[in-house]
């Protein structure tokens, strides 16, 4: 049994896949099970996976018809045997000491979750998207949400999770839904016990204009609203304190009519003009 199972859903990412896989197979922590799910790619992604698998016996390639990222991740979870499980998106990459530092911290505290920082990268610039300054262990649920900046940053891939706890609590991704990270992240932070934050190593989040988040469709807009509402209802049911997330709500009126609604958050302001035109402004 490997110490960490890494699950990588793959769909038409030949441009990015080599960099992603190299960052994983060259980790300073070598006791890995690398599960790659080719989710019906029509480019050369499967060939790239098979090429890496021929050279590294830690790599398992699952080839399936296109079912979406949530189903691909669930396929990986179903066969994961590692003590811990992590996720990497196939257009991203990780620092070479990423899993060594996460695993060392998780073992030190017997934590169910270890979480690292995030760098967000674009073609000509990058910035810290989530910076972890200190190693901190907590079993307080509200503190876990604050340290991970959830629900603003509901990412699954900058963390590792104790596999036995995921299976015991039957935590999987909702099939055939975009933005599936939201509910998964909320559930693990509530149900899994201890979390440790890990400074000085990063998940590198590439801003891909063709990614799930960036491309638009009616289904994605519907799923975004659905998963957000489902997540927020779950947090409400579990009495999660979101003071760090939602700060203030304002209304601006003209002649008694509300012309502008402003939701003020930690990292952004959200505006709704005449109750129909919606836009956001980042504070970063």
Domains of the chain by residue range: 4-232, 245-282
Q: Tell me the pairing of strands 32-39 and 59-64.
A: parallel
Q: What is the mean pLDDT of residues 241-266?
A: 71
Percentage of the chain modeled with pLDDT above 70 = 89
3-state SS class at 239: coil
Q: What is the mean pLDDT of residues 217-244?
A: 91
- Under 8 Å CB-to-CB from 207, ≥6 apart: which residues? 120, 121, 122, 214
**Range 4-232 has CATH code 1.20.1280.50:** no
Q: How far apart are CA 69 and CA 27, in angstroms?
A: 24
Res 210: pLDDT: 59
Element (H, E) at 21: helix 14-25
pLDDT bucket at 256, cuts 50 / 70 / 90: confident
Q: How far apart are CA 118 and CA 121, in angstroms?
A: 10
Confidence check: pLDDT of 237 > 80: yes
Q: Which residues, in sequence order, are bridge partners of residue 202?
A: 117
Q: What is the DSSP code string of 199-234?
A: EEEEEEEE--TTSTTTS--HHHHHHHHHHHHHHHHH
SS (H, E, C) 123-164: CCEEEEEECCCCCEEECCHHHHHHHCCCCCCCCCCCEEEEHH
- Under 8 Å CB-to-CB from 198, ≥6 apart: which residues? 101, 102, 105, 114, 115, 116, 117, 132, 135
Q: How far apart are CA 197 and CA 258, in angstroms?
A: 43
Q: From residue 16, give the alpha-carbon distance in Å to each of 32, 45, 49, 58, 207.
A: 21, 9, 12, 20, 12
CA 278 to chain centre: 25
Confidence check: pLDDT of 31 > 80: yes
For residue 262 the two structure tokens come to 């402003």
For residue 18 the two structure tokens come to 């080599």
Q: What is the pLDDT of residues 2-13, one digit of tens each?
A: 999 999 999 999
Q: What is the pLDDT of residues 184-207, one digit of tens each?
A: 999 999 999 999 999 999 999 998
């Amino acid at each position: 049994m490997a110490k960490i199972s890494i699950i990588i859903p793959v769909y038409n990412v030949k441009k990015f896949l080599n960099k992603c896989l190299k960052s994983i197979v060259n980790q300073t922590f070598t006791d890995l099970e690398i599960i790659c799910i080719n989710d019906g790619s029509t480019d050369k992604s499967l060939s790239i996976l098979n090429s890496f698998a021929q050279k590294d016996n830690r790599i398992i390639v699952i080839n399936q018809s296109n079912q979406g990222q949530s189903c691909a991740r669930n396929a990986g979870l179903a066969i994961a045997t590692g003590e811990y499980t992590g996720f990497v998106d196939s257009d991203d990459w990780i620092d070479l000491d990423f899993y060594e530092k996460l695993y060392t911290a998780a073992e030190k505290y017997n934590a169910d979750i270890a979480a690292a920082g995030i760098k967000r990268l674009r073609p000509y610039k990058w910035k810290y998207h989530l910076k972890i300054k200190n190693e901190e262990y907590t079993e307080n649920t509200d503190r876990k949400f604050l340290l991970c900046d959830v629900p603003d940053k509901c990412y699954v891939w900058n963390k590792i999770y104790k596999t036995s706890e995921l299976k015991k609590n039957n935590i999987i991704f909702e099939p055939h839904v975009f933005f599936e990270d939201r509910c998964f992240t909320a559930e693990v932070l509530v149900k899994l016990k201890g979390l440790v934050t890990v400074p000085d190593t990063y998940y590198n989040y590439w801003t891909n204009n063709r990614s799930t988040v960036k491309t638009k469709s009616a289904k994605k807009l519907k799923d975004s609203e659905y998963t957000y509402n489902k997540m927020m209802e779950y947090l409400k049911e579990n009495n999660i304190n979101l003071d760090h997330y939602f700060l203030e709500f304002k209304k601006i009126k003209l002649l008694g009519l509300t012309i502008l609604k402003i939701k003020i958050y930690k990292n952004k302001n959200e505006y709704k003009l005449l109750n129909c035109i919606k836009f956001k402004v980042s504070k970063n």
